[in-house]
A and B are shown apart, each in its own frame.
Chain A
Amino acid sequence: MAQPLVVKKDDDCDEEEYYSPFLGIEKGAVLQEARVFHDPQLDARRCCQVITKLLYLLNQGDTFTKVEATEVFFATTKLFQSKDAGLRRMVYLMIKELSPSADEVIIVTSSLMKDMNSKTDMYRANAIRVLCRIIDSTLLTQIERYLKQAIVDKNPVVASAALVSGIYLLQTSPEIVKRWSNEVQEAVQSRAALVQFHALALLHQIRQNDRLAVSKLVTSLTRGSVRSPLAQCLLIRYTSQVIRESGMNTQGGDRPFFDFLESCLRNKAEMVILEAARAITDLNGVTSRELTPAITVLQLFLSSSKPVLRFAAVRTLNKVASTHPLAVTNCNIDMESLISDQNRSIATLAITTLLKTGNESSVDRLMKQMTNFMSDIADEFKIVVVEAIRSLCLKFPLKYRSLMNFLSNILREEGGFDYKKAIVDSIIILIRDIPDAKESGLFHLCEFIEDCEFTYLSTQILHFLGNEGPKTSDPSKYIRYIYNRVILENATVRASAVSTLAKFGALVDALKPRIFVLLRRCLFDGDDEVRDRATLYIKLLDGEATVGETDKDVTEFLFGSLDVPLVNLETSLWNYEPSEVPFDISSVPKETKSQPLAEKKATGKKSAGPAAVNGPVPTVDASYEKLLSSIPEFASFGKPFKSSAPVELTEAETEYSVNVVKHIYDGHVVLQYNCTNTIPEQLLEEVVVFVDASEAEEFSEVASKPLRSLPYDSPGQTFVAFEKPEGVLATGKFSNILKFIVKEVDSSTGEADDDGVEDEYQLEDFEIISADYMLKVGVSNFRNAWESMDLESERVDEYGLGVRESLGEAVSAVISILGMQPCEGTDVVQNNSRSHTCLLSGVFIGNVKVLVRLSFGISGPKEVAMKLAVRSDDPEVSDRIHEIVANG
């Protein structure tokens, strides 16, 4: 741009009395001024100024009341009388800004329609844009004809205005816009760059749900000549969409349209090159041969003088580095120079890319460069870096020393909670996975809690220290740090420190006498919880308390994790009524259930009444249990092992809606049919489900409990019970018919007829599958749980799963066959990854704990293979799991 004016420089001195045309502007006054719009002799210049002021107010966040807006709108419509082009343009802007209501719109439609057919192109284009923003579909049909003409108008501005309006209107009146296909298609061939772009965008939106049509569109256009860079970017997007949806149906051969994407890498426009490079790197299962040309152009961008270009390139390469680190190593030299980039976003992306692609020898050098770098970036970037360092350390365990040092250094520096938590989490993970790093890692954590302002982190570290510290070569050196917490910190941290001390006392006999001394001092603590814990642990370690019969029980009590979900425990405690019978923790359901949101609302309403004492929502399980135990026929079955989620047996919105819940007992199955009658004119009586279990041979019906009456819209249940052999994984298919007596209900009186007619209603089939015998129970630390299980119980085998759509699909299929709880987020498969490990945990019928480790691999033509390793409390169950998978 031009040099600053010399004249202006001199004005700098009176900056204080800075002049703004809007100084002291006030809404009321401007609304008064708007009266000039009503003048018979319009002063265009003056009107323009007033509109600008009104727009200024709106832009600054001022709002007009309904009345004010209506007044301004009507006044503005008067301005259509003026012939002044500049004023007209401001009027358009004002109308769009006011977004008038439907009855107001009618007043301007005729003026706008006149402008739409004006000789001035600028009027036409703008009138179209304004009109399409404010009209509804009935008015739209009236002007449809003009819009279709406008799309193929020879003036590109008019055509673009109509096309962009079409994209907007497609959301509200799709059936109308879809009729414009022919005109839009013609516009795609336009010579004007932007018309081509807008036409292509609209055409794709019209056809987006028709895969074949999109595919045809792409096929014809990739051969032809789409010239505008923006349109070309669109075409690249649509092409990759087609590639994605077509999958790899051309087995082993070249990917369709890949040539087109590659040719776009040689385009003149940088935005097209970037779009193509990104499309290639995002391809499903991209090969390194396909990646190479894309990486090459991105590498050139890395040394561009434009920050935006460097950013775009490094961001793309960073993503590639997560899945194909080797493909990016060629760029490492360019990447290293970006560490000192002025733009910190670029520098951070460069660092994390290098951490992903770096080799063992470059780690030390990188660490040195990073130390300076860390001080001047924001916390959010630091977290990214910490995470990258963690994965690097797991990749090169031998380098743990320098990486651990780096982490401990940044742990000492200033930072917010999330950042510190990321560092602490990383150190803990490194300690867990790299045995050599344990002692130094624990030491760094101890140093950190000496001066840590976050209670959450202190307690987390103390807990971890209690588990790991006693197993080190010299546990005594940690005691000082822990006891300092008891002296210096708040009650929460003190209580946590007391527990940690007790753990040391339980595991290290040599330390026991000294721990006793320390614990006794805690008996005088000011906080109840701290004192209670100290008392409990002293008794426990002394062998006095009833919990600690043997040393093994003590350790179990101190270190064992809670094997029931906290939510369920809380619910059970709420439901427990004080009585002679002590609360039994084994009665708490172990299944993890996500709480439906709707139920939360329900308690909100109830809480006003005495029901409030019931506290949180009872889990679905608890309510089932109550229901089932109230039926004498089922009392002899024992406690249900598992209740399934409801399975719908009818389509939505049919006359009767029925779903079934499968309650599994050791030797029985109870089917609970939840029925709802959705016809107001009917009363159903003697409702029963007739179950045909001929395809479930191992089950024999023992009882059926009909439902006496089922009035309109009040759900009721009917039950059918089956006996099945104990200890056998009985599965099978059940077909169901709902039988009942229908009675007509007089809608005015609400009374039912005395006479009823027998009727029946076919329900859908359902199956009892092996997953019904498995409870989803998570473990907090899979690795520990896995290692603590008997190696003898382990059963390993390999399976071929054949051709699958994707790795993720195969993983979720196996999870649902087994019906187990995925641990540590391993049910999510990274895009493009070729292998995956999934950890599952659960409890099998008979209360047998089961852990499963699944390793998946996928080959080029989507052939998936799986290695299944099972450990469980009972080797027979391990075999059983293999049978399930083998038959699934």
Chain B
Amino acid sequence: MNRKKGDKGFESPRPYKLTHQVVCINNINFQRKSVVGYVELTIFPTVANLNRIKLNSKQCRIYRVRVNDLEAAFIYNDPTLEVCHHESKQRNLNYFSNAYAAAVSAVDPDAGNGELCIKVPSELWKHVDELKVLKVHINFSLDQPKGGLHFVVPNMEGSMAERGAHVFSCGYQNSTRFWFPCVDSYSELCTWKLEYTVDAAMVAVSNGDLVETVYTHDMRKKTFHYMLTIPTAASNISLAIGPFEILVDPYMHEVTHFCLPQLLPLLKHTTSYLHEVFEFYEEILTCRYPYSCFKTVFIDEAYVEVAAYASMSIFSTNLLHSAMIIDETPLTRRCLAQALAQQFFGCFISRMSWSDEWVLKGISGYIYGLWMKKTFGVNEYRHWIKQELDQIVAYELKTGGVLLHPIFGGGKEKDNPASHLHFSIKHPHTLSWEYYTMFQCKAHLVMRLIENRISMEFMLQVFNKLLSLASTASSQKFQSHMWSQMLVSTSGFLKSISNVSGKDIQPLIKQWVDQSGVVKFYGSFAFNRKRNVLELEIKQDYTSPGTQKYVGPLKVTVQELDGSFNHTLQIEENSLKHDIPCHSKSRRNKKKKIPLMNGEEVDMDLSAMDADSPLLWIRIDPDMSVLRKVEFEQSDFMWQYQLRYERDVVAQEEAILALEKFPTPASRLALTDILEQEQCFYRVRMLACFCLAKIANSMVSTWTGPPAMKSLFTRMFCCKTCPNIVKTNNFMNFQSYFLQKTMPVAMALLRDVHNLCPKEVLMFILDLIKYNDNRKNKFSDNYYRAELIDALANSVTPAVSVNNEVRTLDNLNPDVRLILEEITRFLNMEKLLPSYRHTITVSCLKAIRVLQKNGHVPSDPALFKSYAEYGHFVDVRIAALEAVVDYTKVDRSYEELQWLLTMVQNDPVPYIRHKILDMLTKNPPFTKNMESPLCNEALVDQLWKLMNSGTSHDWRLRCGAVDLYFTLFGLSRPSCLPLPELGLVLNLKEKKAVLNPTIIPESVASNQEPVNTTNNHGQLVGFQNTFSNSQEEEEIDMDTVHDSQAFIYHHLNMLERPSTPGKEQSSGEMNMHPVSAAPLSVFSKESNSSKHSDHHHHHHHEHKKKKKKHKHKHKHKHKHDNKEKEKDPFAFSNSPASARSIRSPSLSD
């Protein structure tokens, strides 16, 4: 927000510079889940009249604040605790989102704000005026933290260490304020001293170097002393305490791994690969790992799978695996590599502001991609890029765009760059989690586009430059002004690029970074035989949401008989048609090999192609150098050639998807050939399985021979002598392992003419299960067996129901009986011999839900609810919860919805809470345009409460609740609510304010800041009363004159106006504003700081301007509202008075 474009240096939003912070946690009580400690911040004022220091702190109970050993008064106010005050009857999301963004702004460290405001004692003012150092000492404690620090305390006998109890810091973006007071910004760097006193049986892992470990005097505890000399942002500070097993990396002794008791063998195996990742990054970045040590900690109930902090990463313990597990290995390695990439960019190099986040995410994602390419090969890399591209394209088209570099001009906050979204993108904490995931995805794809433009060599040079600047700066121990070199900004990054490469990438940045949206191409072609020219037509859709117009070069690759040729077309405003001259004559030479793009020459059977045309296939943007979706039309044989002979896996995958529309024997043959080709990339072959199943279903009446893939599977995986029996498992060849897993799943999707799964296929799958024999296998077959159950589930078709009879055992379909038999056995065996990550239970639960949904088994959530309880493995819980969510939707069960929402509030595991909301959003019980018995006022109130105040301890969860609210009710007032009559009557009196409830929220939103600096003093006390004990109240009483005035004022005000500002505004009375503003200005006069009042006036001024802008916008919104309400006659009938008022805006218009 404060970043000035083109400005090289970093301007701190704070009137001081933090240089060093001590965090000391003296006591951690696992039983009570509490923490006691203090912090000491060393700050240098940068302005003379610094009299208030704003820090971030959430949920901490602050006992005492001292500045240079003098007691200091402080005020604690956190508007994010309750975004809208609960007397408010506002229920529209627009209102909430604005208020929430304002609340987050009000405490945003990047805007110089904070929840904790400390008054510098007047004795020190002179000291401050000389810009001398201040030491702020804060004693605090945390009791049962709901966010930021997560305690895992298994409920069993024994000491905490024996139980494996542990605690770790977690959160989304800058969440360090949840566990100690700090400047919770990525841009405020300082050095750290961290001390943790823990039980002697425990280990405390934190950032920086462990200097020493010392016993306490009673020898029952020990203190871990850490020093972090590299300047680091508070947001990158982390902690994990538990009875960890310690493993020093055998290859790199500076690296230490930690895991929970009993898991050491898994830890050894899992981390045995890490040194290679280190080597890779250090080599490409030509830079040593910046910290002197690295720690990995694997903990239970993780918030996210991977969390990177300065010199340490916290992983989910579920990433650990033994050597027998195939499927998890690449996933875990990817997580490790990701974490390590973020050590360089994200931890060591931090960002100036939120709008520069994309650079860090982009670079770390990009170098992680390079590692993928090297480790898993080009095919896997390209497949991944394609996957990410498809994802971001789908998301942007769905939601209307992801903006990497939002710019928020100082005064014009109203022209929100993301008005299509139901949340503000101004802060990371208001962002939907899905949006943030997609944001990261887009960031690394854009980095790749930059690489395409300036070459990888330059790209790496830029990274190296950033890193070496930062490491020079970091070694300047006492020159904290140099530390801003360790912060990356968009402009700085772009400048580096232009310095290093000498290329101008501004258009590229403008297109993909400063602007949201993706490109949608539609391509078709005709071959002009006379001119021997390919007439290519490329259209764009740039009007639908989430799209943008593309102008610039576009690569097209044409495979002709004589070879493959690249053409670069210039996409311009009005040109749709492009003529591309062909090289080959259509008369084809006999028996001549056809050269491919990669220089290979192959024999092709050309009988399928058009005799007049030399074109084999055409690809648009083969290198994925535009963020786009391409829909290209070419004939089926061209897709088939592309599938068979194009060597690029992305092209093959595209061809497979296209062939779904061409269910012909030729497509069948092409797919079967691919399936059989061992040189072919295994993911392509897996995809071909599913396509083949679809084609077979489309061709069901003409299909000849055994069911698709059956003979193929038999040939590949069954015994030579007895083809009905599968070979004993041997998964040494991973490619065929994956194919063996996938084929039955795809086969189960086959349907006969009655739309049932052929009996033959079902028997075949049952035989696979029966004869599955893993005794001689080096690897576990749990994933394979799980997929066989998935296959069984896939084979299920809806039950033929005779006049809605009740599902009982007697009328169970015999095939289903067989399936159920297997599921029962598998699920029961899992209790005796559990599989890795309980994959089999997960599949069984899913299969049971499928049976229920298809009407074979009575629909009942009880089973799933028991598996969803706390104490089951997280994957099992998620699968069970997914089934309950689905049940809630299908059976419209209010009870289950309540059960889920209760869990969202009460479950001990943050990830589960988040996931429930996520699943409810993805599979909602109803949506805004749907009539549902579930949609009622109580639910609205409940969800409102959840996002308003129930989730203040977890940004991610709150945003998840917002997402759900949006999915269920949309942006405006939920249709099931009666219209707010009182407000509207008042509005009728005063024609200016006409209806529109949104008018007030926004003015409140913009008003929030000044209100916070002044008026809220009164309110603050209120907060404090609820949040602190009497001790603090005393401190308030001790406050200096004007604060006590504020206190008195507040009380008077309370009598005068029983309502809080929130309520008053909600009633929609504009005329109340001057009333509330008058005492405000009186107060501000009294407050001694001239600077503050200045500030205040400034804001008011601004506020007026904003109001004007508002009106304009309102009209617009207003119409929208109107339309929506007209759609809904229900609302009218509810309150005729309000119906009249709805029409009233037209008068004002």
> Do A and B interact?
no
